[in-house]
Amino acid sequence: MTDVRGKKVAVAGITFESNSFAPGLTYMDAFERYLLVEGPEVLTAGFGKDEIGGAVSVAKELGIELVPVFAADGGCGPTVNDETYEYLKKELFSKLSKVLDSVDGVYLRLHGAMTAESYEDVEGDLIESLRAIVGPDFPIAVSCDFHGHFTEKMAKSTALIAGYQTCPHIDFFETGARAMRLMAAALAHEKTPTLSYRKTKLMASSEGHDTTFGPMRAVLDRLHEIEKMPGVLDATVFCTQPWLEVTELGWSALVVTEDDPELGQKLADELAMMMWDRREAVLFRKEKVADVIAEVNASEPSARPFVLAEGADSPSAGSQGDSNYLLKHLLENPINGAVYMTLTDEVVAKKCFEAGVGGEVTSEIGGTLSPVFFTPVEVTGEVITLCDGIYQSKYPSKMFNSGPTAVLKVNDIYIVVTSKPAFMLDYQLYLRVGLDVTAAKAVQVKSAGSYRAYYSPLAFKCIDFASPGSSDSRLPKLPFTKPRRPLWPFDLDIVDPWY
C-alpha cells in the first residue's frame, strides 16, 4: 500500500437503533443520557473498545492523524422525532464544516437502522448529504451494526462500508479497524475500492441471527474465506433490524473489491444465496412460558441459573422494557427460588425512593409505556436497594444511565425497577444494584438473542420464551405496511429472491 502517513481523517457519528413498533417517539434526552460529545472525547468515549477505538488503532499503525469532531448515541428505542434528528444532523455538519478543508477523508460511526418521523433512512441521508458537500472522490468510510438497514442511497454515496461480523456483537473494535483500513485503501489511490452488493427478500427475527452456532455460522465462515481472496478488501452481511417500518427492508450481502465489480458481484450473490437458502433454519421458535416455569421447577439444584430471555421486550432492540408478562405468570405460578428481573416503570421507581430502603410499596407496575402489549399488575414488595442507575456497560463498552433505579422484592422475585429502559446484553445492571446473577434460580434477560455472549458461559441453561411486545420474533404478528412485497416470511411462495 502507498504510504498514507500524514493523511488526516475526521471522525464523527450518530448512532441509534429504531424500533417502529415501540410506542411513542425518541427525543433529545435519550442522546443526552447516553452520549453527546465533541472534540477529543469522541475518541475515548468507548473506552478504546468500540469501533472508534479500532479506527484509532489502525490510524496509529498507518500514521494517519484523526481529527475528532462530534459523536451522539441514543441507544435504541422508538422512532426518533424529526426535530431531534435534524438538530443532531445540524450539529454534526456544523462541526465537520470547520475541518473539511483540512482533512483527506471522513470516518462516520453509524448504526444503520436509525429512522426518524420523516426519514426512513437516516444513515443514507447523512452519507448522501456529506457526499453532496465533499464531491465524488472524497473518501467517506462508514461502520455499521450487523443489523444495519442497508439501502441503495448508502451504496450510491460510498463504497467504504464495514459492518459487524458477529451476533452477539463482539467485534466493535475490529469493525472500526476494518472501516479505517478501507479508508486507507482509498487514500492510497492505488486501485479504487468498489462496492458490490445483493439485497434479498428475506427477514427474520434477531434470535435466529446468531453467528456462533446454527445456520448463520456457515455464512460467516464463507465470508471470512472471501475476505482473504486476492482483490477483496472487505465483506459484510447485514441481517437487518427486523422491527423497522421501511420500504427497502431485507437482508444484504456486501463485498468491497480492488476495482473488480464483477468479482464483487459474484461473491455478494454467493453470500446472499447462502442466506436465502437458510431462510427456514433462521426462523426462531420459542417456548411457552408455562412450560419454561415447569422445567425450572423440575430441575435439580444447581450453582448456575436458568437464563430466561424475553426478547419481545428487548430495550437493545428498541422496546421499552416495561413488560410484566413473566411477572404475571410467576405471581400465579412461582418458581421455587430467587428470580431476578428488570422492568421499566419510572412511577414505581419514584415510589420506591419515597418509601426508602426497607420500606413497603404497593403499586401497579408495568405496561405504562407499551399499553398496546401489556396491562399493569398490582404487587406489594419491600425496597431492597436504591441507586442512581448509572453504570459502565461491557457490552457495548460505554456508560449507561437507566435513571433512578430500585430493587423491589416481591416474595422471591427481585424486580430491578428502572426509570428508563436498560440494555440487558450483559449483567452489569444486576451487579450495579448488588445482585449476583449466579445466586439466583432464574434470571430474566430482556434481549433478543444477543445476551448469549455474556450469559451463556454462566448459565445452567438459556431459554427464550414467547411473549408479546414490539420486538416480537413472530414478525407477521406485527402491523407492517411499508416494506416492499413479496418479502419472506410474510410471503412464502417467492420465486426470485433478489430485489
The per-residue pLDDT for range 251-292, each reduced to its tens digit, is 999 999 999 999 999 999 999 999 999 999 998 889 999 999
Nearest residue to 359 (alpha-carbon basis) of 346, 348, 343? 348
Rounding to the nearest 10 degrees, give the CA dihedral for residues 327, 332, 335, 341: 10
Let me know: does 326 contact 310? Beta carbons within 8 Å.
yes
pLDDT for residue 5 is more than 80:
yes
What integer pLDDT is reported at residue 190 of this predicted model? 81
What integer pLDDT is reported at residue 398 of this predicted model? 84
What integer pLDDT is reported at residue 213 of this predicted model? 86
Range in 130-134, 229-233, 393-397 the model is least confident about: 393-397
> What average pLDDT does this structure show over 114-119?
98
The 3-state DSSP class for residue 351 equals helix
Higher pLDDT, 82 or 302: 82
pLDDT for residue 1 is more than 80:
no
- In DSSP notation, 187-221 reads HHTSS-EEEEEEEBSB---GGG--SSSSHHHHHHH
pLDDT for residue 247 is more than 90:
yes
- Mind spelling out the 3-state secondary structure of 234-261? EEEEECCCCCCCCCCCCCEEEEEEECCH
% of the chain beyond a pLDDT of 90: 94
How far is Cα 391 from Cα 76, in angstroms, rounded to an integer?
17
% of the chain beyond a pLDDT of 70: 100
Confidence band, pLDDT 50/70/90 cuts, at residue 305? very high
What integer pLDDT is reported at residue 214 of this predicted model? 86
What integer pLDDT is reported at residue 317 of this predicted model? 94
Distances (CA, A) of 104 to 63, 90, 97: 13, 21, 13
Let me know: does 158 contact 106? Beta carbons within 8 Å.
no
Domain segments of the chain as ranges: 8-277, 289-472
Cell numbers describing residue 478: 406485527
Residue type, 7: K
How far is Cα 209 from Cα 212, in angstroms, rounded to an integer?
9
> What average pLDDT does this structure show over 442-455?
94
Angle at 89 between CA 84 and CA 90, to 5 degrees: 100
Q: What is the mean pLDDT of the chain?
A: 96
pLDDT for residue 84 is more than 80:
yes
What integer pLDDT is reported at residue 31 of this predicted model? 96
pLDDT for residue 99 is more than 80:
yes
Range in 45-49, 160-164, 350-354, 482-486 the model is least confident about: 45-49
pLDDT for residue 360 is more than 90:
yes
What integer pLDDT is reported at residue 396 of this predicted model? 84
* Phi-psi map region of 272: left, alpha, beta (phi>0 left; psi -120 to 50 alpha): alpha
pLDDT for residue 386 is more than 80:
yes
pLDDT digits (tens, 9 = 90+) for 182-236: 999 999 988 899 999 999 999 999 999 999 988 999 999 999 999 999 999 999 9
Beta strand 160-163 with 140-144: parallel, antiparallel or unpaired? parallel
pLDDT digits (tens, 9 = 90+) for 40-70: 999 999 999 999 999 999 999 999 999 999 9
pLDDT for residue 481 is more than 90:
yes
Helices H / strands E in the chain, number of each: 13, 19
Nearest residue to 415 (alpha-carbon basis) of 440, 452, 449? 440
> What average pLDDT does this structure show over 115-131?
98
Distances (CA, A) of 482 to 34, 199, 209: 30, 17, 23
